[in-house]
């Protein structure tokens, strides 16, 4: 079974600075997807970024980028120019490309605080 680990329960960053959230996963599969979701206080889960394992190029979405290290099974999220609205819980998630159910396996989450 796949597992996803987020080793940082809480992180804080100064507004306009850069922060990196860690995520590692364990799998024996070679084809899969990785995601970062954001859950603000409203509790609405918002997709931040996704990465296909077969792509070597790291995904980017505006101020959000990932460092995908397939061999190390690491998938960290970098937030540049942090804004107050970035404060939220961030969940890393794994999804097999082969499993029929295509379920997501979530990490335990990292609470990001942004200081003005």
Partner 1 sequence: GAVVSQHPSWVICKSGTSVKIECRSLDFQATTMFWYRQFPKQSLMLMATSNEGSKATYEQGVEKDKFLINHASLTLSTLTVTSAHPEDSSFYICSARGGTSGGARADTQYFGPGTRLTVL
Note the residues at the interface with partner 1 (CB under 8 A). Answer: 33, 35, 37, 42-47, 50, 91, 95, 97, 101-104, 106-109
Q: 99 vs 115, which CB is nearer to partner 1? A: 99
CB of 79 to partner 1, least distance (A): 20
Q: 71 vs 91, which CB is nearer to partner 1? A: 91
Strands 104-106, 88-96: pairing kind: antiparallel
CB of 75 to partner 1, least distance (A): 16
Who contacts 39 (Cβ-Cβ below 8 Å, separation ≥6)?
45, 46, 88, 89, 90, 91, 109
Which among 85, 68, 84 is positioned nearest to 76, based on CA atoms?
68
């Amino acid at each position: 079974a796949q597992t996803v680990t987020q080793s940082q329960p809480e992180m804080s960053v100064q507004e306009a600075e850069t922060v990196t959230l860690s995520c590692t996963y364990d799998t024996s599969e070679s084809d899969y997807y990785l995601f970062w979701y954001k859950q603000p206080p409203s509790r609405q889960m918002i997709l931040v970024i996704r990465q296909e394992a077969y792509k070597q190029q790291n995904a980017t979405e505006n101020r959000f980028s990932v460092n995908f290290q397939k061999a190390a099974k690491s998938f960290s999220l970098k937030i540049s120019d942090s804004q107050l609205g970035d404060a939220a819980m961030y969940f890393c998630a794994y999804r097999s490309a082969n499993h029929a159910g295509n379920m997501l396996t979530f990490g335990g989450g990292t609470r990001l605080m942004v200081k003005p």
